[in-house]
Amino acid sequence: MRRFSEGRVDMKTELVGMNQTELEDFFQDRGEKRFRGRQVYRWIYLNLERDFASMTDLPLQLRQVLEEKARVTWPEVLEEKVSEDGTRKFLLELQDQKTIEMVLIPQPVDSGLRYTVCVSSQVGCPLRCSFCATGAGGFERNLKVHEIVGQVLLSRWVLARENTGAEPRLTNVVFMGMGEPFLNYDAVLSAIRLLTDSEGINMGQRHITVSTSGEVRGIRRLAEEGLQVVLAVSLHAARDSLRDTLVPLNRRYPLAELQSAVQYYFDKTGRRVTLEYILLNRINTNREDARALVTFTRPLLANVNLIPYNEIGSAGYECPPQEVVTRFRRWLEEAGVNTAIREERGADIDAACGQLKAKREDIWQENDTG
Ligand code: SAH
Ligand code: SF4
């Protein structure tokens, strides 16, 4: 039996993060009927219920035992900011008081609103990309499965609670919050399996995007999982000398290795990979950069997503003017590369990776010294 609450004072077992079989085992190990696991699975993942007392199809006595021995928890909302465009950014607190970020992004569709949630996979990130606020903040720890899935359950709960008129639907999950998902591979994979379980949360595999800064072993492992999730690779430069400085992981896995891992993923899964490319003014936006990107991308039949840089004070990079963005896109398209410009969302609330947390810590530091 796994995930007994390691190191927690009250020694309760966290049930969020367990799949149906694990929950059935949990009950069987305690002399209960296996099907209790199925009931609790539905309460947790379908009914978003955290209170055992409300799990009305369980015997009263069992509910009391669960109250003492187990818990159903999600991260707590510490702060929320809402952007003019409706993007909502949450600062969340975990049980050990560490904080992570989560962003809810609405998309209007014919039948109302559809939401994407951007989830974190680590507290901080050890990879220190030079433009990224999360990287600058350093690394604290990996998230547990229940903390990853808990972000999705919390999002569904927030949306359900506020439901006004047309039902808002949380349809997409992107692993683009804090952290490098492939440095927390097992927990991320367990979370994806829970999110896509047709008897539970039941999200479409194709509606889940895992974004990696180029962790080659993770890309190759994911290729073997038999999943149809979207793989996004944060490229940002297609010349090794430049990528070494922007994404330090490139020194470990240079572009040739990354390219062959992406090729492997495409060959194995038949799924086209998305290459993310943040545009940094006067850094990666000239003709040579575009040529190198075309050379990297074409054999992979990958799609390129150009991302206007969300400026963070300390890094010193700038978002290029619109004409540079348009010109860069034209160079790629003229060479036959399928290119999109990612719509900027939530810039007024610092919705880029790591920014809310960085700001809050600035505020705390100011308070500490003042
Ligand atoms: N560690 C993973 C996933 C989290 S970062 C990765 O690097 O892919 C998610 C995306 O946000 C990445 O493409 C990252 O490069 C991008 N990002 C980080 N800081 C940003 C900023 N200030 N503006 C725009 N995009 C940013
Ligand atoms: Fe980590 Fe991604 Fe930020 Fe790089 S961009 S430091 S990999 S979170």
CB distance 5 to 12 below 8 Å? yes
Look at 112-116, 165-169, 208-212, 340-344 and tell me which has the smallest mean pLDDT: 165-169
Is the per-residue pLDDT at 27 higher than 60? yes
Residues near 145 by Cβ (< 8 Å), separated by ≥ 6? 3, 16, 17, 187, 190, 191, 194
39 compared with 357, residue with greater pLDDT: 39
Q: Whose CA is nearest to atom 5 of ligand 1?
A: 176
Judge whether 208 and 192 are in contact, CB under 8 Å: yes
The pLDDT assigned to 2 comes to 43
Q: Which of 129, 250, 277, 353 to mutate to test the pocket of ligand 1 (most atoms within 8 A of CB)?
A: 353
Which ligand is closest to the CA of 236, given by its number? 1
- pLDDT tier for residue 117 given thresholds of 50, 70 and 90: very high
**pLDDT score at 310:** 87
Confidence band of 85 (pLDDT split at 50, 70, 90): confident
Provide, rounded to the nearest whole percent, the portion of the chain with pLDDT above 90: 79
- Specify the pLDDT at position 164: 61
129 CB near ligand 2 (under 6 Å): yes
DSSP string for residues in 77-117: EEEEEE-TTS-EEEEEE-TTS-EEEEEEEEEEETTEEEEEE
State which amino acid sits at residue 5.
Answer: S
Rg (CA), the chain: 22
Tell me the best of 184, 219, 246, 353 to mutate to test the pocket of ligand 2, counting ligand atoms within 8 Å of each CB and taking the most: 353
Query: What positions carry a catalytic annotation?
Result: 101, 353
Q: Residue 93 has which token pair?
A: 């607190």
Mean pLDDT, residues 321-327 taken together: 95
* Mean model confidence pLDDT for the chain: 90
Mean pLDDT is lowest, of 9-13, 121-125, 216-220, for 9-13
Residue 364 has pLDDT above 50, yes or no: no
In terms of C-beta density within 10 A (0-12 exposed, 13-18 middle, 19 or more buried), how is residue 147 classed? buried
Residue 139 Cβ contacting ligand 1 at under 6 Å: no
- In angstroms, what is the span from residue 255 Cα to ligand 1's centroid? 18
- Predicted model pTM: 0.93
Q: Does the domain spanning 76-368 belong to CATH 3.30.2420.10?
A: no
Q: What CATH architecture does domain 13-71 belong to?
A: Orthogonal Bundle (1.10)
CA distance 100 to 124: 8
Instruction: Give the whole-angstrom CA distance, residue 260 versus residue 267.
Output: 10
Ranges 46-50, 70-74, 358-362: which has the least confidence: 358-362
Centre of ligand 1 from the C-alpha of residue 176, in Å: 6
Would you give the distance in Å from CA 126 to the centre of its chain?
Answer: 16
Residue type, 88: R
**Could you identify the atom of ligand 2 that is nearest to the CA of residue 134?**
3
User: Which numbered ligand comes closest to the C-alpha of 126?
Assistant: 2
Q: Which of 135, 129, 310 has its CA nearest to residue 236? A: 129
Taking the domains of the chain in order of start, what are their residue ranges? Answer: 13-71, 76-368
- Please give the residue that has the higher pLDDT: either 364 or 238: 238
42: Cβ contacts below 8 Å, ≥ 6 apart: 200
Report yes or no: 134 and 356 within 8 Å, Cβ to Cβ.
no
pLDDT of residue 362: 44
The pLDDT confidence band at residue 7, using thresholds 50, 70 and 90, is: very low
Instruction: Select from 125, 211, 251, 252 the residue to mutate for testing ligand 2; criterion: most ligand atoms less than 8 Å from CB.
Output: 125
Q: Whose CA is nearest to atom 15 of ligand 1?
A: 234
